[in-house]
Each structure stands twice: as structure tokens, then as C-alpha cells.
Amino acid sequence: MPTIERLRRLTLLLAWLALGLPASAVAAEAPAGEFTDTECVACHVGQDAGLLATQRDGPHAAVGCSACHGATHGRLPRARDDATCSGCHAGAAAASHANSKHGVLLTLAPPDWNAPLQRGRYRAPGCAYCHLHDGDHGNRMDPARGREQAVWVCGGCHAPRFATTQLEAGARLVAVAELKRREAAAIAGCLPTGDETRAALLARVDGHLRNVRLGAGHQSPDYQWWYGQPALDGDLIRLRDRVEHWRRGIGAEPGPDAATDAMVVRPGPDRACDPR
């Protein structure tokens, strides 16, 4: 072997050892058997450090690896399958996606979940295609990461300008819904703290605001509309009605007056309180 070739091999070997590359380069076979979540992390932290970092800092930090992957190797298609996500995210998250054009296309022609979640490999995106794109174990769609991230994922199938327009329109719808949420809080501020419907009414508002966010994010105009905006308008009417209820003295509980001990209707909300 020529000296130059020996030298080249030696340099390669040294670089190999110095960089600690062997972990991923040598361990080619996924071991058989069942593993606990702690064992998954212990092995994979060496070979998939970046992936584990996104998992640790992402929304699924408290969710074990096996919740999506199962306890054995060879089940990647299962992790990618919408059914896995919907098992935990049943309700609004799953329904808004099923209601979108993407969801309908997936129902009509279920994809081959063996394909990695990469550009050009799916006709329509499932949950993991968008949220865990390219093995990202955080949340690719988190608005805090910037809109470009989402546009890049959509851009595997749509023109970036189309995706940007859709996402901007969605952000405006969410802004309108957030305005309604602030209005609801102001009206609720006119209710006496003891009002027993107050917390439930505000929880409804939060649920309907979430429906708008999900409908807009999941590209389901129907969902953001029918389960979001008009429902929020209804919440505002219900809250105002509750304030009027108290003003008329109907909501107030009768009780003994501290000074005279006579039964009186305790005062309702501050009459000057103006929710507008």
C-alpha cells in the first residue's frame, strides 16, 4: 500500500476516533426486544443527540418514547400514523384536521406510513408530517419558531406564496378571536366574584378560541367558523346576559343584612361597571 494511502487511512481513523463518530457509524442494527423509555434515551442520546434535544425541549417532553414508537424497534410506520396522534389528541385537534381538505384526502387514500416524513413523499400531510417534519421531535408548527418554518413544510407541496397567504389569513382570524376573548374577560369582570357560572363561561370562551386556532392552523375554514367565531359571539351574549341577570337582582342570593338582620337581596355587580 503506498505511504500516502496509509497516511490517508490513518488520518481518517484518527478523525473518526476524535469526533466520536463510531456511535452512529458502527451501531447499524437496531437491537431486538422490549425497552423502557429510560433505555431508549440512554442508547439514543449518543446517536441522535439533536433529535433528543428537540424532544426534551418540545411539547412531548413528558410523553415517553414508547407512547408513539411502542416498546420495540421496527415500528416507525406506527409512530407516523395519524391514529397514534389522535389516540391522545382526540376531540378538536383530530376533528379539525379530519374536516380539512388534507384530512379528507387522507381518508380517501390512506398513505403508506413506511415513507419518511420528508418533502415530496406524501400527497397530503398527516399530523406528524406537519408537526414532526423530518424527524423533528419538537413542534415544527409552533408559531414561536417563526412562520418560515411552517411555510417551508407546506412548500413541499404548495407554492410558498400560497402557503404564506393562507397562514397570514389564519393569523388574522385568530387575532379577531383573541379580541373577543379580551372582551369576554372585561364583561366577566363586571360579574361578582361569587358568580357560579363565571368560570364555566370563560372556559367555554377558551375552548372556542382554541377551535379558531385549530381550524385556522389545520386549514379547515368550516371548523374555525362553525365551532369558533359564532360560538364566541354566543359566549359574549351569554356573559352579557349574566351581567344583566345580576343587575336585575335575579342572580343575587337573598341573605341577612349585617346591621338589621333583615332578609335582603345582596347587591349584584357594580351598576356603573361597563363591559365595553
177-236 residues in contact with ligand HEC (CB under 6 A) are 210, 213-214, 217-219
- 80 interacts with ligand HEC by CB under 6 A: yes
47 versus 197: smaller Cβ distance to ligand HEC: 47
Burial of 163 (0-12, 13-18, 19+ CB in 10 A): buried
Secondary structure (3-state) at 3: helix
- 97 interacts with ligand HEC by CB under 6 A: yes
Three cell numbers, residue 41: 434515551
Site for ligand HEC in 105-144 (CB under 6 A): 105, 116-117, 122-132, 134-135, 137, 139, 141, 143
Asked whether the beta carbons of 65 and 45 are under 8 A apart, the reply is no
- Vertex 171 angle, CA 166 and 172, to 5°: 100
Q: Where are the beta strands (DSSP E) in the chain?
A: 254-256, 263-265
Q: 54, 102, 195, 202: which one contacts ligand HEC (CB under 6 A)?
A: 102
Asked whether the beta carbons of 211 and 224 are under 8 A apart, the reply is yes
81 versus 195: smaller Cβ distance to ligand HEC: 81
89 versus 238: smaller Cβ distance to ligand HEC: 89
Secondary structure (3-state) at 115: coil
Site for ligand HEC in 7-36 (CB under 6 A): 27-28, 30-31, 35
Backbone angles phi and psi of 67, in degrees to 5: -60, -35
- 167 interacts with ligand HEC by CB under 6 A: yes
At what angle are helices 160-188 and 147-154 packed, to 10 degrees? 130
Q: 54, 84, 211, 229: which one contacts ligand HEC (CB under 6 A)?
A: 84
Return the range that interacts with ligand HEC (CB under 6 A); candidates 6-14, 70-78, 183-191, 258-266: 70-78
Return the range that interacts with ligand HEC (CB under 6 A); candidates 157-165, 180-188, 199-207, 251-259: 157-165
